[in-house]
Amino acid sequence: MDTITAASVPKLRVGVRLTFDHVRGVHVLLFPEGVLVPNPTATAVLELCDGATPVSGIITSLSHRYRGVREDDVLAVLARFGQRRVIEWT
């Protein structure tokens, strides 16, 4: 997807799984090409990529949990994961 908007709906691609690694004490993103250890901010965004919630809903949910959530920051996180082919758009 070239342009991500507030109406775009992200989801984890088939074969991608966000899970908690109890040994390391962090969330890890498992995918066929490897493993990523997202920071807490990215993890919060990824947890909401369910294929049903648009970006605007993700921003609203994050705003209820954290102060200072900016749409541009959420869009940037989603764009990076899109480039890594970890998420797709429905």
Give the pLDDT confidence of 57-77 residue by residue, as tens digits: 999 999 999 999 999 999 999
Q: At what angle do helices 40-47 and 71-83 cross, to 10 degrees?
A: 80
When pLDDT is cut at 50, 70 and 90, the band that residue 2 belongs to is low
DSSP character at residue 36: E
Question: What is the mean pLDDT of the segment spanning 37-47?
Answer: 96
- The domain covering 10-84 belongs, at the CATH homologous superfamily level, to Coenzyme PQQ synthesis protein D (PqqD) (1.10.10.1150)
- Non-local (6+) Cβ contacts of 52 within 8 A are 9, 11
Q: Confirm if 62 and 45 have CB atoms less than 8 A apart.
A: yes
Q: Confirm if 48 and 90 have CB atoms less than 8 A apart.
A: no
When pLDDT is cut at 50, 70 and 90, the band that residue 47 belongs to is very high
Domain positions in the chain: 10-84
- The tokens for 66 are 């954290």
